[in-house]
Chain A
């Protein structure tokens, strides 16, 4: 309430100190009340003495003072007193860095808050002056136009990097593992993009199809001796059939209702895998799944009788990395196939019908488009790619269990699609690199890893609410593209 009021209030020429201080005090009090039990007390295990309370009232007090100042600074910025915000931001940053605060957490958070206030103040000051505002509009317009022109080059550059990565000197086992992981999520993101980004069907159970693909390959290979390449189409077809199976009951649902049912479907598949022990070995999972090979050349130093190992076949030194490099290229090709098919489908009537369905289902019906078939094909094709990715996952990990297919996986894939910008193929790649890569790079931050990750996501959503790549190119043009930089 108070926040909204402060936002909408017109910039007054005189700053109402009393109201601002009162508002800040109320905020600090609220924080104190909320934090009293969560921050103020902490249970500590004292061995023989049992559980006891530790008191952290200094922490709480410092936090409340910081919140009071921060709130005051925000009010000041919205009332055209950005210099005060600048001052408080600098003070908070200096205090956090200079003083010895009781916990690292406070140091990190207060420093970040001070930094954010400084940026906020600088932004407000810049926008406040007319020259600054004009400059901002000019620069942002030009940056937008430039980035839109840059997208094809960015895509080509990333593809070139992806192809060259395994031959880089720094490409050790860890890098290849991360590369495979990111590419798997890129492929899943591209697959889900068909369902969520193009057809506009919010699917929270996408991981179910991934699981179907993984278990298809795992069971066919361990029990029937199928090779990866034989099982791959089977996994895709089976996952697509599950897609149709899910599609039928949810045809009439939209938005939140659809999301809940698909979430339930994802859980059903996982729980069936967990409990149908005779078939799936339940929580124990399926192990010793054969890896994917090229022309049946195993990745071992000394191959069994009658077989030629991969390194002998190519005349290379044996290296444990070969298996990963081959897997990396398999997932790269699979992902590129997904991308190519999606780009193609977007330009076909079915792709346009998906997008039209996302925009307005009622209008689609009035134009004679069968919504049932259109939705089912979206579910089936999206699921098929998840099935491919799933059997790749099984071949790479060589062990799968229901643990790998929990809801958080669906949530991550959906975040990749949403963060990238719904319907954008390039956005999915950027978001997958960010969401899967960043937590790996943040490992140095230790326990603040997830905090930094969350902060990065919040910042992206504030500054790019429609995703990293919100731009949509028409699938067909009458006139050649020109005047791209038009103000929007």
Chain B
């Protein structure tokens, strides 16, 4: 079937002798939230880095489909994956442009469209072309997102001055301003308090339902994962050990073993 948004086939990533990901295959569907979970060091972020072009996979095929085109991500350069294949991402440790204002952060995300509108700068410098209207449209879009993440009043503040939870939301809004078809979020709930985490759930659900974007999510916080995921992929030591609906994954003995340790170890502590 051609319905999958992104199809990951036999993805393997080796760093020297270390096999970070070993023959992992899964698919993420459009308008669904797919979560990738697993204990620390399971290779979740490495999968993300392969998909978003920060690593070149050793083996494997990453095929992204939207609007009737197929993009083979493993052959594309990092910035093209965001610009053409329309895969946006956020980072585990927030990467905003801290010295720039909140609004500027959202405008930088719309760089490619604005570049075309400014005639690749040449016309913009001379004050020709419809750059003004393009910029006004970009500001409108940013305004819409500021409204959704509740940062409208802080639009002109430096992004680095915002509280942690707001920075997380801003990073998601910035990724959304690139007009992605697939949004990859690396631990978006890390460091959030329960209230903020609840707001995040709503934001992600609205991104799925209102914007119709496929979301790929790495998360440790099971309250987030179980509440909003349509589909969960479980990794352990670089291998996929389970793949299915939240209920099916929760009941899977292999998952329980990976999270709670072997039964005979008698160690009750697991990941939250």
Interface residues of A (CB under 8 A from B): 341, 344-345, 348-350, 352-353, 355-356, 358-360, 362-371, 377, 472, 474-479, 481
Contacts and interface: CB of A to CB of B under 8 A. Distances in A.
A424 to B, nearest CB: 12
Interface in B74-88: 78-84, 88
B77 to A, nearest CB: 9
Contacts of A344: 124-125
B125 A363 contact: no
3 closest cross-chain pairs (CB), A and B: A368-B83, A368-B82, A359-B97
A350 B115 CA distance: 7
A367 B175 CA distance: 7
A365 B54 CA distance: 9
Contacts of B95: 360, 362-363, 366
B143 interface: yes
B125 A367 contact: no
Contact of A367 (B53, B80, B108): B108
A341 B121 CA distance: 11
B114 A478 contact: no
Majority secondary structure, A binding face: helix
B233 interface: no
B100 interface: yes
Given A359-B97, A360-B95, A366-B52, A474 B103 contact: yes
9 contacts: A348-B131, A350-B121, A352-B104, A352-B107, A353-B108, A362-B54, A366-B175, A476-B107, A479-B153
B39 interface: no
Interface in B240-266: none
B125 A345 contact: yes
B96 A363 contact: yes
A360 B96 contact: yes
B111 interface: yes
B79 A365 contact: yes
A391 B175 CA distance: 45
A368 B86 CA distance: 9
Nearest to A475: B104
Given A344-B125, A474-B104, A478-B143, 11 more contacts: A349-B115, A359-B98, A360-B98, A366-B89, A367-B174, A368-B82, A369-B111, A370-B83, A475-B104, A477-B156, A478-B156
Given A363-B91, A369-B79, A478-B156, A356 B124 contact: no
Contacts of A356: 97, 100, 108, 111
A371 B107 CA distance: 17
A371 B79 CA distance: 8
B99 A355 contact: yes
B206 interface: no
Interface of B: 52-54, 78-84, 88-89, 91, 95-101, 103-104, 107-109, 111-112, 114-115, 118, 121, 124-125, 131, 135, 139, 143, 146, 152-153, 155-156, 174-175, 178
A484 to B, nearest CB: 11
Nearest to A474: B101
A49 to B, nearest CB: 64
Contact of B103 (A355, A367, A476): A476
Contacts of A353: 108, 111, 115
A365 B82 contact: yes
A350 to B, nearest CB: 5
A474 B108 CA distance: 13
Q: Which of A348, A360, A364, A477 has the most CB of B within 10 A?
A: A348
Nearest to A341: B125
Nearest to A348: B124
Contacts of A359: 96-100
A476 B139 contact: yes
A359 B78 CA distance: 18
A370 B79 contact: yes
Given A356-B97, A362-B95, A348 B103 contact: no
B79 A355 contact: no
Contacts of B114: 349
A369 B118 CA distance: 15
A359 B100 CA distance: 8
Contacts of A475: 104
A360 B97 contact: yes
A472 B81 CA distance: 32
B252 to A, nearest CB: 33
A374 to B, nearest CB: 9
B103 A363 contact: no
A438 to B, nearest CB: 29
Contacts of A366: 52, 78, 82, 88-89, 91, 95, 175
B99 A472 contact: yes
B41 to A, nearest CB: 21
A365 B88 CA distance: 10
Nearest to A488: B161
A348 B104 CA distance: 11
B122 to A, nearest CB: 10
Nearest to A423: B99
A408 to B, nearest CB: 30
B70 to A, nearest CB: 19
B156 A474 contact: yes
Given A349-B111, A349-B115, A355 B125 contact: no
Nearest to B125: A344
